[in-house]
A = this chain, B = another copy of it.
Amino acid sequence: MDNVIDQSGILAISTRLQRLADALRKEGQLIYQSFGIEFEPKWFPVVYTLHLKTSMSVVEIANEIGYAHPSTISLLKELEKQQIIKSKKDKTDERKRLIVLTPKGKALVSAMQPVWNNMQKALSQIADNKNNLMDAIIEAEEKLKVSGFLERSQKIRLSGDVR
């Protein structure tokens, strides 16, 4: 609480969230480097998803990781260039591209297991406090699913709350 933004409290929450996301992503990058692994934090959602689900279309991946599909496409381009994934046309639906991990991709996933394990421990240290950050995120997202920020604002306004 040593600066104005901290004091402004919850109003700057999206700023705070983004700052934290940024910090963790950047340090995550350094951790992969420190393990001598060529991998970028932003690739994690796609690669982890393909590791579990084997073969998916572009839009399926996008939905799974909660990204817009153009963002997913550009990640897939990078991963294809790195030969971590490859894709082939779906025989039964010519529109679809089925994405799979390459052998190199699978080897990478294996090699990253200890890194992910390590990161998980470090992140748990950071996020598990009186209030657990991951749980707080999940809870907030659930609230938002029930009724969004705008909707809540309007309900509060209509309830005669003009102070």
Point out the residues of chain B lying under 8 angstroms from A52, CB to CB.
4
CB distance from A104 to the nearest CB of B (A): 21
Contact B118 A156 (CB under 8 A): yes
Q: How many subunits of this chain does the assembly comprise?
A: 2
Point out the residues of chain B lying under 8 angstroms from A31, CB to CB.
149-150, 153
Point out the residues of chain B lying under 8 angstroms from A22, CB to CB.
14
Interface residue A129 (Cβ < 8 Å from any Cβ of B): yes
Contact B133 A140 (CB under 8 A): yes
Number of interface residues of A (CB under 8 A): 78
Instruction: Tell which of B23, B117, B132, B154 touches A144, judged by Cβ atoms closer than 8 Å.
Output: B23
CB distance from A124 to the nearest CB of B (A): 6
Contact A127 B11 (CB under 8 A): no
Query: CB-nearest residue of chain B relative to A3?
Result: B64
17 contacts between A and B (CB under 8 A): A4-B64, A8-B44, A10-B124, A11-B123, A14-B22, A16-B134, A16-B141, A17-B24, A19-B66, A23-B144, A34-B154, A118-B153, A119-B149, A126-B144, A129-B143, A131-B131, A133-B139
